[in-house]
Amino acid sequence: MNDMARTKLIMIAAGGSALLLLGAFAFQHIGGLAPCKMCLWQRWPHAAAVLIGAAALAMRGPALPVMGALAALTTAIIGGFHAGVEQGWWEGPASCTGGNGLGGMSGADLLSMGGPTGIVMCDEIAWQMLGLSMASWNMLASLALALLWVMAARRG
């Protein structure tokens, strides 16, 4: 029974990261919302969690679920930081926020920020639901996924 519970937790946690990643791609490619630099940073830990989940299903022990939890916590931290930048609670990276203006940026920096629709600033909320931005939702969902990973790790 312990193996079955561990397997289910891993599948839900890794599947949750896969769904969040697919949702981000859907917003981008179907919804037309180009991601900012910090949005892209939030995707990488989800991709890692999916791969870790596949490996954790094949191997026993708590190490891989702990790594899955760390991946989920990483994207939660990035999402929380990004949400704070969007709310103006603190400054974000100069390479993707409008606080200092674009005048001090190099042409390469400006080009690296652009999506299919142009420059996407990290301090602007592109979409929100119930007063929370995508970065905020990612943070909350990723914290829940981290908890599932920890529960899986405790089951060995």
Instruction: Give per-residue pLDDT as tens, 10-61.
Output: 999 999 999 999 999 998 899 888 888 888 899 999 999 999 999 999 999 8
The span from the CA of 12 to the CA of 70, in Å, is: 16
Given a cut of 70, is residue 98 above it in pLDDT?
Answer: no
The structure's pTM equals 0.80
The span from the CA of 48 to the CA of 45, in Å, is: 5
Question: Per DSSP, what are the bridge partners of residue 132?
Answer: 129
Element (H, E) at 87: helix 63-87
Given a cut of 50, is residue 67 above it in pLDDT?
Answer: yes
Query: What tokens were used for 7?
Result: 């397997």
State percent of the chain over pLDDT 90: 53
52 Cα distance to chain centroid = 15
Q: Which residues contact 53 (CB under 8 A, 6 or more apart)?
A: 10, 11, 13, 14, 15, 17, 68
63 within 8 A of 7, measured Cβ to Cβ: no
| Backbone phi, psi, residue 140, to 5° | -65, -45
Is the C-alpha dihedral spanning 43, 44, 45, 50 positive or negative? positive
